[in-house]
Amino acid sequence: MAEETTDPLLFSLKDRTKEWAPKMKKSHVPIEMNQEQVKNILKFIENSQPEAVKARIFSQLGQECFTCRKVDTWMGQYEGNIQALMDWVNIEQGSKYWERLEFSQDHSAINLTGKKVEGCACAFADCSQPPQSLCYYCCKRFQEEIFGRLLGRQVLVEITEAFLLGGERCSTRIHLT
């Protein structure tokens, strides 16, 4: 059996749910981070950092969203069965966010058409002047994780329309690489 570590820097993403501070007293309750703090930090990054830094940070945020929200577990039911997911979206109309999911004519991509929205689904975008990097990198990475897992291969997501970028829906093209 592997030895457990108490060093938070050595934990993998999947281990982050474990308590890593066993010396902390049980009666101690840390103050939760306020959502406004996170929004302000993300806006600071958007407005002050070079594109390469924004890409790394916001892409990691998309990865964390996929993992921490347990989307990877939910996707397991569709893993290797794109048709089942397409049926859930197109026939059952089970998605809150997606209107259509279909292959391109030449089957080199999957076109995801989002439902018309009045705002972004991301809680971090619920502010004045939300970072566009939430679309360009975070959502892009989130969907690359979803469809990469589903198809068992690397994919490249192209944002074709986004509410934060002036569109009336959030739609993407998933290129099958």
Predicted pLDDT at 95: 95
Residue 96 token pair: 């809150």
pLDDT surpasses 60 at 47? yes
- Bridge-based pairing of strands 109-114 and 155-161 is unpaired
Over residues 102-128, the mean pLDDT reads 96
User: pLDDT (tens digit, 9 = 90+) per residue, 10-24?
Assistant: 344 445 445 555 566
Residue 13 token pair: 């993403």
pTM over 0.85: no
User: pLDDT (tens digit, 9 = 90+) per residue, 148-177?
Assistant: 999 999 999 999 999 999 999 999 999 998
Predicted pLDDT at 33: 78
Distance CA 30, CA 104 (A): 49
User: pLDDT (tens digit, 9 = 90+) per residue, 83-111?
Assistant: 999 999 999 999 999 999 999 999 999 99
What is the percentage of the chain residues whose pLDDT exceeds 90? 75
DSSP class per residue in 81-135:
-HHHHHHHHHTS---SSEEEEEE-TTSSEEEEEEPB-SS-S-GGG-SSS--THII
Distance CA 67, CA 73 (A): 8
Q: Set out the domains of the chain in order of their start, with CATH numbers.
A: 35-176 (3.30.1380)
Tell me which DSSP letter residue 34 carries: P
Are the C-beta atoms of 95 and 42 separated by less than 8 Å?
Answer: no
Dmax over Cα atoms in the chain, in whole Å?
60
Predicted pLDDT at 5: 42
Predicted pLDDT at 154: 95
Residue 69 token pair: 């929200």
**Confidence category of residue 41, pLDDT binned at 50, 70, 90:** very high
Give the amino acid at 106: D
